[in-house]
Amino acid sequence: MNITKIIEKKKDNKELNKDEITYAVNAYVMGIISDAQMSSLLMAICINGMNLDETYFLTKAMIESGNVIDLSSIDGIKVDKHSTGGVGDKTSLVCLPIVAACGVNVAKLSGRGLGHTGGTIDKLESIKGFRSDLSEEEFIRQVKSIGIVDAEQTKQIVPADKKMYALRDVTGTTRSVPLIASSIMSKKLAAGADKIVLDVKTGSGALITDFEESMNLAKMMVMLGKMFNKKTIALITDMNEPLGDSIGNSLEVKEAIRTLSGIGNKRLTDLCLTIASYMVSMGKDISLKEAKKQVEDALTSKRALNKFKEFVSYQGGDINQIKESKYSYDILSNQDGYVRDINETMLAMECLSMGSGRINKDDTIKHGVGMIIKKHIGDYVSKGDVLVTVYYDDKKVNDNNVLKSFMLSSTKSEGFPLIYTVIE
């Protein structure tokens, strides 16, 4: 096999076969081909795409680049959940303990930040002492012990995705349906869960901004699940404004705790309750209506909050020691009006410039930096009102960019639906 010919073939928009895709994946993992060569192939895929067969072969090769966790020794149905990512998306931090508190085993491998969206592992690691690098034995033992685990894939679990994920983050190859689908589903399938719920974001702040493209991604992942004999459903959810009130790792963890305490942002809470209901319905094979009752009870009774604390403690974290930024300040509105739109991508990029994510592959995260959103779409703003509170260490945001992110109008906007459709 010749990697240059494979790159050129995909650059010419020709279909790659199973052997070519398998070779490219394995050769990259073994160091036979370079970051530059894999970047070229990823860019060609971004531009020309992949059909379902190619994406299946890519997903399969990525899974087979490492081990698959065998969860058969754990009683009951194991359910997994994944989001395609968006600005302020901390749903996993809320959904997983709710589902586990309902008695459904949750076994999840999560990723780090990708582009302007934050990663669940980066968020959890803002908790002092939290361990994400669990061995397979620890992963299984934790599910057996407390019914919930969320860890970073080890070197033995989908190593191809781990290397490609980091490379995509810094080479402008994040927005690609087949690359996103294969990355997510390889981790989901390698983690060994029986059933999978996917939260596919669509809108200006998502990795996939176009609704039809988001639908294609959801359908592709559901089909991949079926091809690997895993029951999979996908919810298409809105990402046209930040999800919840916070952007930034530690700030989002604190918001998740508030949500689990019953005092969180309503839009975030409603989405988490819906996703958790689908997970419990699948995990217990009960109606969605009955599952929602159990999910709401787990939240209001604080059993979900206690499960989150147990989960964090089990993985070495101290819930009372969440990393914080050194400084904070408010950015005030310079005009009156209703918030018609929010450019959350611009807000996320400003957070990224402070160190909330990675611009280069080996950058160190500053877990405490970010911002709290004080006004959402539909809210009325008077001149001088606080739009956001910025938390920073050594570099502030561009205040003008933040102000430009909030588009005001004389009339009130109805906002966007929370959930557009469900694909089963």
Q: Give which of 322, 391, 320 is closest to 356, Cα–Cα.
A: 391
Structure token pair of residue 307 = 């499960």
Give, in order, the Cα–Cα distances in Å from 81 to each of 32, 96, 275, 366, 370: 34, 8, 9, 26, 25
Under the phi-then-psi rule, with left for phi > 0, alpha for psi from -120 to 50, and beta for the rest, what region is 13? left
The rounded radius of gyration (Å) of the Cα atoms in the chain is 21
Choose, from 83, 183, 246, 405, the residue flagged as catalytic: 183
Contacts of 304 (CB under 8 A, 6+ apart): 94, 97, 98, 100, 101, 260, 298
Choose, from 78, 81, 112, 168, the residue flagged as catalytic: 168
Residues 240 and 204 sit within 8 Å (Cβ to Cβ): yes
Structure token pair of residue 93 = 């931090």
In whole angstroms, give the CA distance from residue 99 to residue 93: 11
User: Catalytic residue at 175?
Assistant: no
Residues 279 and 273 sit within 8 Å (Cβ to Cβ): no
Per the listing, tokens 């989405």 go with 271
Choose, from 116, 123, 163, 187, the residue flagged as catalytic: 187
In whole angstroms, give the CA distance from residue 132 to residue 118: 16
Choose, from 161, 169, 199, 238, the residue flagged as catalytic: 161
Answer positive or negative: Cα dihedral of 243, 249, 254, 257: positive
Inter-helix orientation angle 159-169/177-190, to 10°: 150
User: Catalytic residue at 141?
Assistant: no
Choose, from 82, 230, 307, 358, the residue flagged as catalytic: 82
- Long-range CB contacts for residues 289-296, cutoff 8 Å, separation at least 24: 291/102, 294/102, 295/98, 295/99, 295/102
Dihedral of the alpha carbons of 49, 53, 58, 59, in degrees to the nearest 10: 110
Please spell the DSSP secondary structure of 313-342, one letter per residue: HHTT--TT-B---SEEEEEE-SS-EEEEEE
Q: Give which of 292, 300, 237 is closest to 263, Cα–Cα.
A: 300
User: Catalytic residue at 277?
Assistant: no
User: Catalytic residue at 238?
Assistant: no
What residues are labeled active site? 82, 161, 168, 183, 187
